[in-house]
Structure formats: C-alpha cells, structure tokens
Amino acid sequence: MANILRRVIMRKYEDLALVAKKYYKDSNFCSVVAVATVCNMSFGKARIKMEKAGRPHRKGALSDTFHNVIKNRGFDIEFVPGYWGHQVKTMGKKLGKGTYLVEIRNHVIAFVDGVCNDWSDGRCFKVICVHKVTKTN
C-alpha cells in the first residue's frame, strides 16, 4: 500500500523537478515531466525514453519527440481545437476531466482532471495548442 501512495506523490511537479535537479542534474525538463505525468511513470523512466527518442541532456524537446514517446507507451494523442490564445490559468476549468498536453511557446504542460502539473499553474501564458491523451486498448 505504501508503494502505491509513494508513486502518486512522486508524480507531482515539485517532486519530479526535485528528482530531475538532484539526481539527474537536469534542466529544461518540461517535456519529461509532461511524459511522466500523462504516462503515469517515474521521472527517470520518462527521461530514459525521451533520451532514446532524441532529447539531449539539459535541452528541450520538440513536440514530435514527446508525442512519439507517448504513442509508443500505448497512448493516443488527439488535437483539440478551439483553445489557441487562451491562458494557462483558465485551462484547468475549461478542460475538466481527462488527460491533456497544453503547449505554449517553448513549453509543454500536463493537465490531469483539471489539475496543472507544472510550475506555470496560474500564469497568463497564451496557449498554442491542446492535445487529449487517452490510453489505447
């Protein structure tokens, strides 16, 4: 039971960022946090998957890179129209239930059931695009 609780807690942004900085000496890891969040895996496992897909250490990743990693983990990514220009701080209420990737300029954010798992929660950054992530059967 304790192991299950530990996994849930480790997926919070603050904990994932601490692992990234302390154990991997990593930075610019928003795509790794997003992959770890939507695929329900640890930072280390997500980082290895992203590295194999072409993300350099301490550098950001292109959208195609993290989209391919998520698809290879057995998830489907679907573009959701109508959110261009909205602000990050309002996306939790607008998206509601489900798992989403919200892309802003040079950054990606994971939303799970209306909760932002990123440092940009509550900020006025403009949304470029939104993708719904669902587990394929």
* Residues 63-118 pLDDT 10s: 899 999 999 999 999 999 999 999 999 999 999 899 999 999 999 999 999 999 99
Average pLDDT value for residue range 44-71: 91
- Give pLDDT, residue 8: 38
Q: Are 110 and 38 in contact (CB under 8 A)?
A: yes
Q: How do residues 12-28 score in pLDDT, each as one tens digit?
A: 888 888 889 999 999 89
- Domains of the chain with bracketed CATH: 2-135 (3.90.70)
Tokens of 112: 């799970």
**Would you give the DSSP letter of residue 118?**
S
The C-alpha atoms of residue 84 and residue 7 are separated, in whole angstroms, by 33
pLDDT grade for 1, boundaries at 50, 70 and 90: very low
- Give pLDDT, residue 117: 92
Task: Give the helix/strand (H/E) hosting 80.
Answer: strand 75-80
For residue 4, is pLDDT > 70? Answer: no
Number of H helices, E strands in the chain: 6, 5
Output the pTM of the full model: 0.86
- Give pLDDT, residue 69: 95
Q: Are 115 and 92 in contact (CB under 8 A)?
A: yes
- Give pLDDT, residue 137: 72
